[in-house]
Chains A and B, each alone.
Chain A
Amino acid sequence: MTCAIKYFVMIGCEMSQSWSTSGAGSGLKYFVVFIAIFTFLSFNFPIVLNAQDSSCVTCHTSTKKLLEKLRALEASKPKVTKSAESAGEG
């Protein structure tokens, strides 16, 4: 990952040099390079948020919340049971 950052910083520097010759503002240049690097990293190194930080665990670690939600869900959905015609060992 460090290598990738160095690589992008290097590309960014080259880009800013070429842009400075073209007369674009230096603040804008650095902003664009930063956005490009950030976007690339967030797509290619997505393991940045662990399960602990996920909002999923708020419900899935709480027995009370799950009981409430699943009872409501079960009441609203028809219960799928095994066919009464099944006979014998599976």
Chain B
Amino acid sequence: MAPLEPYEKVLVDTDFLDEDEDVHGQVSCERCHGGNPDAETMEAAHEGVIKDPTYPDATKSCGECHMDEGHPDIAEKNSTNLHVSLSPFRKKIFLRANPDPEVRKTITGAMGTHCMECHSSCGQCHVSRPQSVEGGLIEGHLFQKTPPADTNCTSCHGSRVGKEFHGENKGVPADVHHLKHRMACKACHTGDEMHGSGMDHFDRYEVANRARCESCHEFATSEEPEENEKKGKSLKHPSHIIHKDTVSCQVCHAVSYKNCFNCHVGKDKAGVAYFKTDPSAMDFKIGMNPKTTEDRPEKYVTVRHIPVSDKLFDFYVKDALTNAANVPTWKFATPHNIQLKTPQNETCLSCHGNNKLFLTNKDVKSWEIQANKDVFVPFKPAPHVRHNWLEQPKFHLTRMDCLICHDPALAEPVKDCAQCHATDSMLMTKAEGPPEYSLMNWNFTNKELIKDGKYVVGSNRIPALDIIGMLIILLTFLGCATHGALRFISRRRK
């Protein structure tokens, strides 16, 4: 985002004064911003000017009209809007904080300097850039119904979300919704979500009207969802049924994303606030969802390391975050770099048994082990060990399609050899499919499966043995016939 010149930040477009262009221009400037328009000097005219009349309380500016008509609840919900209140942010820090009231008071002050400036407001979305990125009018004070993504969404949510979505992390592709479908933030994050739910929350993922994949991507039904332009691809792959409510969408469809580590804040000799974070790292980690709810039932979720440390506020007060070791530093995350095909969803075994993908105590510093104990994925034996009831587990795992035994249509996965290895087996009688893959088709048209190295019952015998066997049989008959013929000829001569 290109920075604005100082004059550009306050330059009002004359279109703003045209009633047909923007009705807000019909309200006098001082009505919202205060100041004294009759003053002789610039200094006197700007005395008492309110830069953003919508923060923190929007009821007196926006609410004067929007409480009664148009958007009755938006201004009313402003005080609990998480973009304005940053309420979960404060609560999460206090979860880590020392219980001493004096220490908490100091932390509140430090947060005011370093953390709580990253808020937004009605004005800082619809009229200007957010103050945390040095403000400046967008479109010369013309009110924007939908805030521009580059100046008002990714200007704050840029380091992680913006770069992921636009593919600005080296070697990581952009989100398919951006790259293929040119979707902007508002396609998923509606105005309704942005204006808040009207309730205070402990966690931003608790917001009921938040963006959800399933709002667009439905399970395949008899009615073809693709006919609706607003609908995304339907979830036809059996993996969606198998992993539903167990694995979050991002576990299969996100790729490497940014993780931030450590953070220290303070003030330099000139009294200017600073922050220091360790270099970020691209990684992909699956962790346990420490708090499953009806709304978020997934057991396995993508987790991201957040920039926090027990020494965060050491500049202001020692032992500020005495409870830091009990609150996870790897947090539930929804990376914005969704792909249809990812390294971990290439095959079932790309994920199952691939321990590198799962968060364990080896991935954290010693002080974080206790904090993340509920997020670590418990060790599970390798798939071939878990399938050791099979005759040749490795052979079955590498040559068979997992979905043959783990067919979501079956009440339970196959666990009996005879279910497949018998003439009247499930494999021979039920495993229907397209003709070229059918296991019931004895014309051996399932050659493509064989070509991929997959096992098909009866198809992987050794052809040389077949030929030798046939030759032996033929030679036996030939030998008998020759012997009989010779005997017949020799008898007639006698």
Contacts and interface: CB of A to CB of B under 8 A. Distances in A.
A54 B37 contact: yes
A81 B209 CA distance: 39
A60 B17 contact: no
Interface string A32-48: 00000000000000110
Interface residues on A, range: 20 to 34
A51 B29 contact: yes
A70 B7 CA distance: 7
B268 A52 contact: no
Contact of B29 (A47, A54, A69, A84): A54
B272 A60 contact: no
Interface string B261-280: 00100111010111111111
Contacts of A60: 10-12, 29
Given A56-B29, A60-B12, 16 more contacts: A47-B28, A47-B31, A50-B26, A51-B25, A51-B29, A56-B35, A56-B37, A57-B12, A60-B29, A61-B17, A66-B10, A85-B268, A85-B274, A86-B274, A87-B274, A88-B277
Given A60-B12, A74-B6, A80 B272 contact: yes
By secondary structure, the A interface counts as: loop
B42 to A, nearest CB: 6
B157 to A, nearest CB: 12
A51 B33 CA distance: 11
Interface in B1-54: 6-7, 10-14, 16-17, 25-31, 33, 35, 37-38, 42, 45
A80 B286 CA distance: 43
A52 B25 CA distance: 7
A6 interface: no
B29 A83 contact: no
B307 to A, nearest CB: 8
Report which residue of B26, B29, B270 has the largest number of chain A beta carbons within 10 angstroms of its beta carbon: B29
